[in-house]
């Protein structure tokens, strides 16, 4: 056999699913050993040999339910082929005896189905493990995976299967076998997975008439699933459900509660000998995987069920084996001459699992101690002493709610089965370690937690003659080393927690008289406030919140000074702000404030009626009304102003502590600072958890990327065209304040007023969606401005045509892209100098319309394949052609969804934050969105990007805006339909636009719309995005203007 040819075993490989799998590996030139109980299988294999001359074949008649027969055959395969790489435990039957029978005396049921499907699979798996374990010795090298075992289960092993309960029982057993064996086999570098196919097209399937009402899955879907499992060494313990065109990795059910999970995990970790190690060829340990670069994020405590931290083998070829009977100690690590890692606790939160690239299988701590401690005892000999001199290197992973310290960057290395031990970033060195006295209660600061950790790890050094206070070389115990570099004593931890509330008192301290706020009030008065006044009012509201004990404060306001003051006040009080969209229906508003557990709500007087339903069910939640007038006292002021004054009086009663008595620097930067709710166009809105750290770094990113920084008198004058409630105004309430810019508040979008402010006030920056910019450019007041204005453009993909229009007016686009789940912007289309030298200026604008690269405070954005099992992360080619999904890692990825663990797991599936946006990845690293996955139109097998088609249609001289949605087509499945608005005084018909599309060189024939409907206005979200769900409803005949 050629040295590089894979050796495959397929049981039941001469018919049905097995035959499809045999063909898959034959196409790859492998050698397939087909085991089948049917002797006619030999003729089928002979025919396959002629069909696939580059592959190798052997046939063995074997009954997998007969241990002796099966063991003999697989031993022959190994002897002849020299190795076994993949075993497909596929053979099965579906003979079903009835269990509910009318009979006088119950008869013994025939269990041949269980004998073959379950017992035979267990036999096959055991033999596969035996021979695959030999592979490392054959190839002489350590490999990511020695081999792969794939069992054929069924979707009857996932769901109740009333027509065949014994068949279902056998397949449920296969699923349980695979999931339970996977962890143990990871230590052997052997993968084990299972296929759970639905109804398949095979040569032994029942009559097709039986399947008429069903979706029949093609064999190509199953073989694609096999290939994905075999080719990805990181996949193990997975159940791949095969249905239609989909391969879906199914997670095991969640634990009923935390205690159940702890019990199960503890039983598993102790093993069959009640907590004693077995003899092993070398040291066999449970080791945490090497932590890859942590994206600048800090790991947080989480109320979510911790994900799996799979046990991995860590071998040392020079170390003697661990002795039989050595205690898996509870109060100390027993001295040994070998490397040993002790998993004291795996209370690791989902973000850590994502950083480690692990699947989110729910597990709990293996042993109930407050930290994961790894001890490494290198072999070091004293020349005068034949006994080893032992020293400990203790790498501490303690519960993140107890010790909140950042994980430093490491170079990723594959953790298993390489001999390297994991080196955690915080290392304290000493001879002995006692685990019994570690504290479990949280402490007030990270510094005190670190000091306490050192004190509990090592006895006090104050006792005379004690050596326990040194690391063996006379160094004091408070020496701290990071990545093996000593950085001094514990005073090294000289940092402050990050919170964006800090930006306001800082700005007021630097420039108290600088202009902070400009606003035309509801009573049509202009107010201007300095940073001293802004900070004082926010401080007053903070003390009010603190006095009342509010922990979660809602905001239902338009873009007003009260909104800004509330944001900083709530944050300064250490509470959570819940700013929501005042354009939502009453029912959604009530749902959000109820879901968010609001203690009080700040509401603009214009929107008080929106809370009528909520007040009926929550009569005790205080409603704090802002009248938005120029008065701060007297009859024109309202409850919000009174709350500010009450808070300032409360501060004075406490001794006028000012901002020092608040939490401008959060006690816990990883705690939630705000809940930003999604729009909820197709489901209930989700509350996205924004941390203090994320808001701080998101704001700094916007200061840099949008150019807000203060330069020699050139103060940023920021116009609030973007709703402050939308993703917390993309963090610009904090960003503008950090730059000591002036907030120009705007109660509503008013294009003539915007142009007045641009011209008269010298606005320098604003954020707006493409639709807002489109209408702004089309306004009758539009004219080229004397000085450039930086316009941060996001919310939906803009067109090159729009960027050209904006630039002509001296509105210079800063193209960013992001999600509510990324604190708003997380990428930027960076304009490169060479673009200005392009002969055709339209080429420059086309590149400007790309979504670009990751923010300075994030990691590079990626585009991953979508035709792989869920949770598998494989990058697409950077060729600008292959379509994939945009995913993110980094500091400005939100913590998760409030009260929605399942959605959080899905959001971070595979260790990355999924956008749901389809894009291509260009050679220069820039990404370019094509569409949302659900908005791609599939017409006759061709994928049509609605975004790409819209960007061309709007270049028509008479068209103002365009939205494209799919309509059903009996022949093509789907086809595009365009909804357009036209420019003032333009006269164009839908038929003329269709003909223009046919003549346009950039529109392929299959992309041409057969229908173009002219509408007065396109449906939009509060941030200016075109509501594609409404367009799809219109395309199906829904009433125009309805939702």
How far apart are the C-alpha atoms of 870 and 876, rounded to whole Å?
15
- The strand pair at 426-430 and 392-397 is best described as antiparallel
Residue 6: CB atoms within 10 Å: 22
What residues contact 688, with CB distance under 8 A and at least 6 apart?
A: 675, 676, 677, 678, 727, 820, 821, 894, 896, 897, 898
- Three-class SS of residue 728? helix
Residue whose pair of structure tokens reads 């944001």 in the numeric block = 567
Distance (Å, whole) CA 98 – CA 208: 25
Q: What is the CATH number of domain 935-1042?
A: 3.30.300.30
Which residues does 655 contact at the CB level (< 8 Å), separation at least 6? none
Cα gap 149→174, rounded to integer Å: 12
- pLDDT given at position 598: 96
- Predicted TM-score (pTM) of this structure: 0.56
* Topology (CATH) of 500-748: Rossmann fold (3.40.50)
pLDDT at site 417: 32
The rounded distance, in Å, linking the Cα atoms of 922 and 932 is 18
Q: What are phi and psi of 875, to 5 degrees?
A: -70, 145
Peptide bond just before 417 cis, omega within 30 deg: yes
CA distance 387 to 871: 49
Q: Edge to edge, what strands does the sheet with 896-897 contain? A: 623-626, 600-604, 552-556, 576-579, 672-677, 687-691, 896-897
The helix (H) or strand (E) run that includes residue 544 is helix 531-548
- Helix, strand or coil, per DSSP, at residue 806: helix
| Spans of all domains in the chain | 7-96+110-252, 500-748, 935-1042
Cα atoms in the 13 Å half-sphere on the side-chain side of 945: 19
Helix (H) or strand (E) holding 641: helix 639-653
Question: Can you tell me the distance from the alpha carbon of 759 to that of 779, in angstroms, rounded to the nearest whole number?
Answer: 14
Q: How far apart are CA 803 and CA 814, in angstroms?
A: 10
Strands 372-376 and 392-397: antiparallel
CA angle 290, 293, 295 (to 5 degrees): 140
User: For residue 200, what is the DSSP state?
Assistant: B
3-class DSSP state of 703:
helix
Task: Work out the angle at residue 428's Cα, subtended by the Cα atoms of residues 427 and 433, and round it to the nearest 5 degrees.
Answer: 120
8-state DSSP, 115: I
Cβ within 8 Å of residue 493, ≥6 positions away: 405, 446, 447, 450, 480
Question: Residue 904: is it exposed, middle or buried by C-beta count within 10 angstroms (0-12/13-18/19+)?
Answer: buried
Using alpha carbons, select from 265, 237, 231, 261 the residue that is nearest to residue 249: 237
Please state whether 76 falls in left (phi above 0), alpha (psi between -120 and 50) or beta.
alpha
**817 three-state secondary structure:** strand
**Which SS3 state, helix, strand or coil, does residue 18 take?**
helix
Extract the tokens encoding 520. 């035309």
Nearest to residue 171, comparing CAs of 122, 117, 225? 117
Residue whose tokens read 């004075």:
652
Question: CA-CA distance, 114 to 541, in Å (whole number)?
Answer: 69
Annotation: CATH topology of 7-96+110-252:
Rossmann fold (3.40.50)
Domains 7-96+110-252 and 500-748 share a fold: yes
- Cβ–Cβ under 8 Å, residues 25 and 57: no
The H or E element containing residue 126 is helix 120-132
CA–CA distances in Å: residue 155 to residues 168, 200, 249: 9, 11, 12
**What are φ and ψ of residue 570, in 5° steps?**
-65, -45
Torsion sign (Cα): 952, 955, 959, 960:
positive
- Residue 265 near residue 256 (C-beta atoms within 8 A): no
Contact 811, 773 (CB under 8 A): yes
Q: How many residues does the chain have?
A: 1043
Strands 1011-1014, 973-982: pairing is parallel
Task: Return the number of other C-beta atoms located less than 10 Å from residue 620's C-beta.
Answer: 6
- The pLDDT, as a whole number, for residue 971 is 66
* Residue located via tokens 């939160």: 349
431 CB neighbour count, 10 Å cutoff: 15
Give the residue ranges of the chain where pLDDT is below 70: 1-3, 136-144, 201-215, 258, 261-263, 265-494, 634-635, 680-683, 711-713, 931-934, 940-943, 971, 1022-1023, 1041-1043
- Enclosing H/E stretch for 814: strand 811-819
Structural contact between residues 240 and 158, judged by C-beta atoms closer than 8 angstroms: no
Instruction: Report yes or no: 534 and 579 within 8 Å, Cβ to Cβ.
Output: no
Judge whether 331 and 373 are in contact, CB under 8 Å.
no
**Cα–Cα dist 110/122, whole Å:** 19
With a CB cutoff of 8 Å and minimum separation 6, the contacts of 828 are 705, 814, 815, 816, 817, 852, 853, 855
Torsion of CA 398, 401, 404, 409, to 10 degrees: 60
- Residue 104 structure tokens: 């006088």
DSSP one-letter code for 821? G
């Amino acid at each position: 056999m050629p040295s590089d040819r894979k050796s495959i075993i397929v049981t039941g490989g001469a018919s049905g699913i097995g035959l499809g799998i045999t063909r898959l590996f034959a196409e790859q030139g492998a050698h397939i050993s087909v085991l089948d109980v049917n002797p006619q299988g030999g003729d089928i294999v002979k025919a396959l040999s002629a069909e696939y001359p580059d592959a190798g074949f052997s046939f063995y008649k074997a009954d997998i339910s007969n241990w002796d027969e099966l063991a003999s055959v697989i031993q022959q395969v190994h002897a002849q082929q020299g190795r076994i790489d993949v075993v497909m435990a596929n053979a099965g039957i579906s003979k079903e005896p009835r269990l509910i029978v009318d009979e006088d005396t119950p008869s013994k049921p025939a269990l041949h189905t269980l004998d073959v499907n379950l017992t035979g699979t267990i036999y096959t798996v055991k033999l596969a493990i035996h021979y695959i374990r030999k592979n490392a010795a054959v190839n002489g090298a350590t490999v990511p995976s020695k081999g792969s075992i794939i069992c054929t289960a069924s979707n009857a092993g996932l769901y109740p299967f009333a027509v065949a309960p014994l068949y279902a029982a056998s397949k449920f057993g296969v699923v349980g076998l695979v999931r339970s064996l996977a962890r143990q086999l990871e230590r052997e570098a052997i993968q084990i997975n299972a296929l759970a196919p639905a109804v398949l097209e095979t040569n032994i399937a029942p009559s097709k008439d039986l399947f008429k009402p069903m979706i029949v899955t093609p064999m190509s879907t199953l073989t694609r699933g096999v290939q994905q499992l075999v080719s990805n060494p990181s996949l193990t313990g997975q159940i791949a459900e095969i249905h239609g065109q989909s391969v879906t990795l199914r997670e095991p059910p969640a634990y009923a509660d935390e205690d159940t999970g702890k019990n199960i995990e503890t039983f598993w970790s102790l093993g069959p000998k009640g907590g004693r190690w077995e003899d092993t060829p070398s040291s066999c340990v449970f080791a945490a995987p090497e932590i890859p670069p942590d994206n600048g994020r800090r790991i947080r405590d989480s109320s979510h069920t911790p994900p799996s931290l799979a046990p991995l083998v860590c071998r040392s070829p020079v170390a003697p084996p661990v002795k039989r009977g050595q205690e898996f100690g509870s109060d100390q690590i027993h001295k040994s001459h070998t490397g040993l890692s002790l998993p004291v606790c795996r209370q690791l939160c989902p973000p850590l699992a994502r950083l480690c690239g692990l699947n989110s299988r729910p597990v709990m701590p293996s042993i109930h101690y407050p930290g994961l401690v790894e001890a490494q005892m290198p072999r070091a000999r004293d020349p005068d002493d034949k006994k080893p001199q032992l020293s400990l290197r203790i790498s501490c992973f303690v519960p993140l709610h107890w010790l909140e310290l950042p994980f430093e960057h490491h170079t990723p290395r594959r953790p298993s089965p390489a001999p390297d031990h994991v080196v955690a970033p915080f290392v304290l060195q000493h001879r002995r370690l006692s685990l019994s006295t570690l504290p479990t209660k949280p402490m007030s600061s990270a510094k005190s937690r670190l000091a306490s950790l050192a004190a509990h790890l090592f006895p006090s050094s104050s006792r005379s003659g004690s050596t326990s206070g040194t690391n063996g070389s006379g160094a004091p115990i408070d020496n701290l080393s990071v990545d093996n570099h000593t950085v001094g004593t514990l005073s090294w931890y000289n940092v402050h927690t990050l919170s964006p509330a800090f930006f306001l008192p800082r700005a007021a301290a630097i420039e108290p008289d600088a202009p902070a706020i400009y606003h035309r009030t509801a009573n049509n008065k202009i107010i201007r406030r300095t940073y001293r006044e802004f900070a004082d009012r926010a401080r007053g509201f903070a003390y009010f919140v603190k006095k009342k004990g509010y922990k979660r404060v809602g905001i239902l306001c338009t873009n007003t000074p009260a909104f800004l003051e509330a944001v900083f006040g709530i944050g300064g009080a250490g509470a959570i702000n819940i700013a929501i969209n005042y354009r939502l229906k009453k029912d959604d508003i009530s749902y959000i404030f109820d879901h968010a557990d609001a203690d009080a709500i700040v509401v603009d007087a214009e929107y008080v009626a929106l809370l009528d339903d909520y007040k009926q069910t929550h009569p005790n939640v205080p409603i704090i009304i802002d009248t938005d007038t120029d008065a701060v006292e007297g009859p024109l002021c309202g409850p919000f102003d009174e709350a500010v004054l009450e808070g300032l009086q409360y501060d004075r009663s406490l001794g006028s502590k000012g901002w020092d008595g608040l939490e401008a620097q959060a006690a816990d930067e990883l705690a939630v600072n705000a809940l930003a709710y999604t729009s909820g166009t197709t489901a209930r809105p989700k509350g996205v958890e924004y941390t203090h750290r994320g808001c701080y770094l998101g704001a700094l990113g916007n200061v840099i990327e949008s150019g807000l920084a203060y330069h020699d008198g050139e103060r940023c004058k920021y116009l609030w065209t973007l709703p402050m409630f939308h993703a917390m105004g993309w963090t610009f309430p904090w960003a503008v304040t950090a730059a000591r810019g002036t907030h120009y508040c705007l109660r509503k979008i008013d294009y003539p007023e915007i142009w007045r402010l641009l011209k008269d006030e010298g606005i320098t920056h604003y954020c707006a969606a493409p639709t807002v910019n489109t209408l702004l450019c089309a306004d009758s007041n539009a004219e080229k401005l004397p000085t450039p204005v930086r316009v941060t453009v996001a919310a939906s993909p803009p067109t090159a045509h729009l960027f050209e229009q904006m630039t002509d007016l001296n509105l210079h686009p800063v193209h960013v892209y992001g999600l509510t789940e990324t604190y708003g912007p997380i990428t930027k289309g960076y304009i490169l100098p060479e673009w200005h030298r392009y002969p055709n200026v339209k080429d420059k604008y086309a590149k400007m319309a790309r979504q670009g690269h990751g923010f300075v405070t994030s990691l590079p954005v990626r585009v991953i394949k979508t035709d792989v099992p869920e949770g598998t992360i494989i990058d697409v080619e950077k060729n600008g052609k292959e379509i994939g999904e945009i995913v993110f890692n980094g500091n400005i990825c939100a913590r998760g969804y409030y009260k929605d663990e399942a959605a959080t797991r899905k959001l971070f599936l595979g260790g990355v934050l999924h956008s749901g946006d389809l894009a291509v990845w260009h050679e220069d690293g820039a990404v370019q969105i094509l569409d949302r996955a659900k908005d791609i139109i599939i017409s006759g097998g061709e994928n049509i990007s609605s975004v790409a088609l819209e960007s061309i249609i709007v270049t028509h001289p008479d068209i103002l805006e365009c939205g494209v949605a799919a309509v059903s087509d009996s022949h093509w499945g789907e086809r595009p339909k365009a909804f357009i608005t036209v420019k003032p005084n333009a006269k164009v018909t839908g038929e003329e636009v269709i003909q223009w599309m046919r003549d346009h060189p950039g529109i392929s024939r299959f992309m041409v719309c057969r229908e173009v409907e002219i509408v007065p206005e396109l449906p939009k979200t509060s941030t200016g995005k075109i509501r594609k769900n409404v367009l799809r409803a219109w395309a199906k005949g829904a009433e125009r203007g309805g939702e």
